[in-house]
Amino acid sequence: MRLNNRFFSLQTTIIMLVCGIFILALFVTDFLISGRIAATVQNNKIEKTSDIARMVANSPVVMEGLLDKEKEGAIQPFANRIKEVTNVDFITVMDMQGIRKSHPDPGKVGKRFVGGDEGRVLQGFEHVSTATGTLGVSLRSFVPVYAADGRQVGAVSVGILLVNVKQAIADSRMIIFAGIGVGGLVGLLGAWLLARKIKKILFGLEPHEIARLLQERSAMLQSTKEGILAVDINGTITLVNAEAVRLFQQAGLEGDPIGKSVKQFLPNSPMETLLQKGEVVLDQEYDLGVSTWLINRVPISIAGKTAGAIATFRDKTEITSMAEQLTGVQMYVEALRSQAHEFMNKLHVILGMVHMGYHDQLTNYVNQIAGHQQNEVGFIVRKIRNAALAGFILGKLSYAREVDAELTLSGDSVLPEPDNPEVIHELITIVGNLIDNALHAVQGCARKAVDVCFDYENMGLTIIVSDTGPGIPDHHKSHLFTKGFSTKGDNRGLGLFLVQRSLKRLGGTLDFTSKPEQGTRFTVTIPYAGKEEDDD
C-alpha cells in the first residue's frame, strides 16, 4: 500500500529516514565485520598463548624440573604464577609421556594430559588446537621443551577456555555497536536539527504545500496579461512567463532567456541599475526600437539585502490605445451630455411659453430653433460624411453654446468616409482636444469665438482650429506637448500630448502660431484616404 506523504511532516520523514539508514547500517556492519572481528580476536588469543608457551618452555625452571626429579616440584608454582600474571586459563607442563607436571587443579598433577591433541608437540612440532580438556573446551597452544643438548624433554600447553574467547569476541563487537549507537544518536539529533533548519528556510511549509504553491504560482504567472521577468543578484534571468516570451519575440528577441544575462539579452536594460540601487521604479519607458515597453521594477529583498529583482512590463502601444479609446469615449459622452442639456433648456422654454399662452411667440421660437438646427445639421451632414464625427461636432456646437462661446465651422470641401475606420477615432481625439482647449482659452475674453475649418484635398486633410483667446506665453510654448503640463490645474495636461500621439499614429503634423491678446491658431495636416477616391 502506498502511504500518503501528507500523513508525515518533513521533520518526521527525515528522522524516520535517518533511523532506517542507521538500522540498515547496523545490520550491514554486523554482517561484514563480525567474522573479521572473531578471526582477529582468535588470532590475538592464539598469538598470546603461543608467546606464553614459548616463554615457559624456555624457562630454566621448567627445563631443570623435567630433567631432575628433585626439581620437578618447582614447575607447579612457577606455572601458576605465570598463569595469574598473563591472565590465561591454564598452563600445563608435561613430560615426554604426557604426564602433567603442572595444572590449575593440583589434583590433576601427575596424571596424563587430556584432550588427545598433544601428540604432535611430543614429536617436536608447535601447533594450536581446540579440544575438550578437564576444564572444558579450550583454545590451546603447544610448544616443545628442549634440554641444553637439544634433546626434547617435554612440552608446554597454554590455553584459554573457548567461552572466554567468545566473550572477548562479543566484547569487541559491543564496542563497535556502542560506537554505531552513539553515531546513530548523533545522527538523529543532527536530523532533527536539520529538519528544523530546512522547515525554517521553507517558511514552515511542508513539501506538498510547497508543490501546491508552485503549481498555483505557475498558473498565475502564465495567465497574467503582463510580461514578468525575474533576475538574481548577478543579473541572470531566472524566470519569465508566456506573455514575456511573446513580447520578446514581438521585439525580435529570440531564444530561451532563462539562464542568460539580462544585460546581454536586453541591451541597456534598466534592471542593472535596479540591482545596484535597489529602488522601486514604476511606469518607466523602455524603447527597443521596434516597440516600447512600460516597465515596473521592484527589488527582491531577503533579510534586508537585495537578492534580485522582478519586472512587469506591457507594450506601451497597447496601453496607449486603450487610454486613447477611453479618451474618445469620454468625448462622445461629453458631446451627448451637452446636446441633452441644450435640448432640455429648449424644452423648458417651450413649456413655459405654453403655460403662459404665448402661442404666436412659441411658433416663431420653434420655427427659429428648427431652422437653425436644420441649417446647422444640414451643413455638418453635407460637409462630413462620417456619422460618428458629424455627431461629435454637433455635440461640440451644443457645448460651445452651453459655455456661452461661439463655435463656427467652415470649409468648402466635403470630408468623405475614411478608408480605415480607425482614422475617425484618432480624428475625434485630435479635434476634440483642440476645440476643448480653444473653448477654455476664450473664457473670460470679451469675444469668445472659436473657428474650426476642415479642408480635404488630394488625399490630405488640413484642420485649422483658431480662437480669440489671450494667446500662449512664450515660456509655455516649449512645454505644450509635454505629458502632464497644463495651466488649468492638477491632473491635467493630457490633451495636446494625446493629440501628438494620434498624429504620430496617423503620420500627420501640427503647427501653431500664437500672439498675445490676438489668439492662437493650430494647423493639423494628416494623410486621409477617402472611400470615394478609392472607388474612383
Q: How far apart are CA 358 and CA 352, in angstroms?
A: 9
- Pairing label, strands 305-315, 406-410: unpaired
Q: What is the CATH number of the domain that holds 239?
A: 3.30.450.20
Whether 149 shows a pLDDT value over 90: the answer reads no
**Which one, of 282, 293, 286, lies nearest residue 246 by Cα?**
293
- Single out the residue of 527, 516, 344, 338 nearest to residue 419, CA to CA: 527
**Does any domain span residue 487?**
yes
User: What is residue 254's predicted lDDT score, i.e. its pLDDT?
Assistant: 79
Instruction: Give the tens place of pLDDT for each residue, 474-505.
Output: 777 777 777 655 555 444 446 777 888 888 88
The verdict on 280 and 215 lying in the same domain is: yes
Domain presence at residue 122: yes
pLDDT, tens digit, for every residue of 176-201?
Answer: 677 777 777 877 787 788 777 877 77
Could you tell me which residue, 322 or 506, shows the higher pLDDT? Answer: 506
The answer to whether residues 26 and 151 belong to one domain is: yes
CA distance 246 to 251: 9
Q: Is 410 helix (H, G, I), strand (E, B) or coil?
A: strand
For the sheet with 127-133, list strands across it: 90-95, 152-161, 136-146, 127-133
153, 19: one domain: yes
Confidence bin at 144 (pLDDT 50/70/90): very high
In this prediction, residue 392 carries a pLDDT of 80
Q: Ranked by mean pLDDT, which of 373-377, 406-410, 479-483 comes out on top?
A: 406-410
Average pLDDT estimate for 432-453? 88
Domain that holds residue 484: 358-535
**253-289: buried (b, 16+ CB within 10 Å) or exposed (e) per residue?**
beeebeeeebeebbeebbbbebbeeeeebeeeebebe
Q: Are 272 and 403 part of one and the same domain?
A: no
CA distances from 133 to 75, 115, 166, 203, 345 (A): 20, 5, 17, 71, 138
Q: Are residues 221 and 118 in the same domain?
A: no
**81-113, pLDDT tens digit by residue?**
988 888 888 888 998 888 888 888 888 888 888
Measured distance CA(155)–CA(157) in Å, rounded: 7
Sheet strands (E) in 366-477: 406-410, 449-457, 460-467
In-domain check, residue 340: no
State the total domains in the chain. Answer: 3
Q: What is the helix (H) or strand (E) element at residue 521, kind and residue range?
A: strand 519-527
Residue among 373, 391, 253 at smallest CA distance from 313: 253
